[in-house]
């Protein structure tokens, strides 16, 4: 009943590997809007109408919107027939039970969510989600047939002490240890330096490339096919420069996803 017209257009892993070897083509780009705890039925209706009318799909880019839980169904209905896909901002790691206020991955699948953000730094910091819990959520999302968008990123302190790769390695390794690396063929990674999220500061192209390349190098056989997004104050004015980098495959957006013109400009920069 809630099925959208969206179909996963990404080629299979083997095809991607062949493609990148043959033509050195970039991976399919992905732009994800994380609305966080913003919006109302009225505001969302206007925003969604503009986005659905302004994004007609692209052969090389996907667009996802992650509204707050209460608006998932309204968003799904507003996006019906459009090329924009539904996602969620978090999930509980358990399948069901006495977890008051929580939402399971199968509930998100019922509402036709395709992607779920996991391990966003606001949840790690404010809701005290541990690395292990993030790994369990990652697994729960995949078991429900959805695609996790696993966020990792260092604090300002880590960055200043030159420990950024160590932190990212720890955050990735706990998920690798929990699920194995082969399941990352159905996953997206997002590098979100904590000091750049919602602050107006963006990682320099060199800083972003260093980390994306490092993350890719941790994925073994999937290194060339996994999509790695950058997140941290991406706006229309800096998106094109970031997307041009070899190892950046799109963006996870906070603030910029709440403004239809800004959001659409970023989606178009990903094409």
- Per-position x/- string for 241-270, each x denoting binding to ligand PEP as judged by CB under 6 A, each - no binding: -----------xxxxx--------------
Q: Quick one: which segment of 132-140, 153-161, 212-220, 231-239 binds ligand PEP (CB under 6 A)?
A: 231-239
> Can you tell me the distance from the alpha carbon of 158 to that of 171, in angstroms, rounded to the nearest whole number?
13
**Is the sign of the CA dihedral 81, 88, 189, 161 positive or negative?**
positive
Q: What is the DSSP letter of 113?
A: -
**68-127: which residues touch ligand PEP (CB under 6 A)?**
none
**14-43: which residues touch ligand PEP (CB under 6 A)?**
34
Considering the candidates 154, 192, 212, 262, report the single residue annotated as catalytic. 192
Q: Which of 93, 192, 249, 262 touches ligand PEP (CB under 6 A)?
A: 192
Structure-block tokens of residue 217: 């190098």
Q: Which of 108, 118, 233, 250 touches ligand PEP (CB under 6 A)?
A: 233
Structure-block tokens of residue 222: 């999937």
Q: Is 210 a catalytic residue?
A: no
- Asked if 150 interacts with ligand PEP (CB under 6 A), we say no
What burial class does residue 24 get, using C-beta atoms within 10 Å of its C-beta: 0-12 exposed, 13-18 middle, 19+ buried? Answer: exposed
Task: Please check whether residue 153 is in contact with residue 192, taking contact to mean a CB–CB distance below 8 angstroms.
Answer: yes
CA distances in angstroms from 184 to 8, 61, 175, 207, 222, listed in the order given: 16, 19, 10, 24, 7
Structure-block tokens of residue 266: 């970023």
Q: Quick one: which segment of 70-78, 123-131, 156-164, 229-237 binds ligand PEP (CB under 6 A)?
A: 229-237
Q: Which residue is nearest to ligand PEP (CB)?
A: 254
Q: Is 271 a catalytic residue?
A: no
Considering the candidates 120, 139, 154, 262, report the single residue annotated as catalytic. 120
- Asked if 153 interacts with ligand PEP (CB under 6 A), we say no
Structure-block tokens of residue 37: 């705890």
Hey, which residues does 33 pair with through a beta bridge? 65, 253
- Asked if 188 interacts with ligand PEP (CB under 6 A), we say no
Q: Which positions are annotated as active-site residues?
A: 120, 192
- Interface residue list for ligand PEP (CB under 6 A): 34, 192, 197-198, 231-234, 252-256
């Amino acid at each position: 009943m809630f099925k959208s017209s969206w179909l996963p257009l990404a080629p299979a892993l083997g095809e991607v590997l062949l493609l990148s070897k043959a033509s050195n083509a970039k991976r399919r780009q992905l732009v994800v809007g994380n609305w966080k705890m913003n919006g109302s039925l009225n505001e969302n209706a206007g925003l969604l109408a503009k986005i659905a009318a302004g994004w007609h799909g692209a052969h090389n880019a996907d667009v996802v919107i992650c509204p707050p839980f209460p608006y998932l169904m309204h968003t799904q209905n507003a996006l019906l027939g459009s090329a924009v896909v539904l996602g969620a901002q978090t999930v509980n790691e358990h399948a069901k039970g006495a977890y008051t206020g929580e939402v399971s991955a199968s509930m998100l699948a019922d509402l036709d969510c395709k992607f779920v953000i996991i391990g966003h730094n606001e949840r790690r910091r404010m809701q005290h989600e541990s690395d292990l819990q993030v790994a369990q959520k990652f697994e729960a999302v995949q078991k429900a047939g959805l695609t996790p968008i696993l966020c990792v990123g260092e604090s300002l302190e880590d960055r200043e002490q030159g420990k950024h790769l160590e932190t990212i390695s720890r955050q990735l390794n706990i998920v690798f240890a929990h699920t194995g690396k082969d399941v990352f063929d159905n996953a997206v990674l997002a590098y979100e330096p904590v000091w750049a999220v919602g602050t107006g500061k963006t990682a320099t192209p060199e800083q972003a490339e260093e980390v994306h390349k490092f993350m890719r190098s941790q994925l073994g056989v999937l290194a060339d096919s996994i999509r790695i997004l950058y997140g941290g104050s991406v706006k229309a004015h800096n998106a094109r420069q970031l997307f041009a980098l070899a190892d950046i495959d799109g963006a996870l957006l906070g603030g910029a996803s709440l403004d239809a013109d800004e959001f659409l400009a970023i989606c178009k920069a990903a094409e």
